[in-house]
Amino acid sequence: MKLSNHTIKLKIIGMLVHILTKIPDFQSRSRIHHFLNEDLAGSKTIYDRKMFIIFCAKICQKISKKYFKDVFAWNFLRICEEKKKDIAILFAKNVV
């Protein structure tokens, strides 16, 4: 069975959501936060920033508003303010 790159990344995002919501290891959570905020949200490629939006849409249903606001909200809002149509469409599909 051959999976597409997009499908694999979605599965990885699902695992990251699971780790952040179910495993209380501070060091692992800190590394994941850094990866998501620096490598995905801060990426120059639109594809990585889109994956960050998908991640935020999946995790916001499972964590407190305070946790989301403290860790992910600033990067999430910064990306959503971009003028790229792909970002606006993805934001509308996943969040609104």
5 neighbors 47 (Cβ within 8 angstroms): no
Structural domain total, the chain: 1
Tens of pLDDT, residue by residue over 30-89, are 999 999 999 999 999 889 999 999 999 999 989 999 999 999 999 998 988 888 888 888
Q: Work out the angle at residue 44's Cα, subtended by the Cα atoms of residues 52 and 94, and round it to the nearest 5 degrees.
A: 25
pTM above 0.85, yes or no: yes
- Is the pLDDT at 1 greater than 70? The verdict is no
Of 28, 50, 25, which Cα lies nearest the Cα of 40? 50
25: containing domain? 5-94
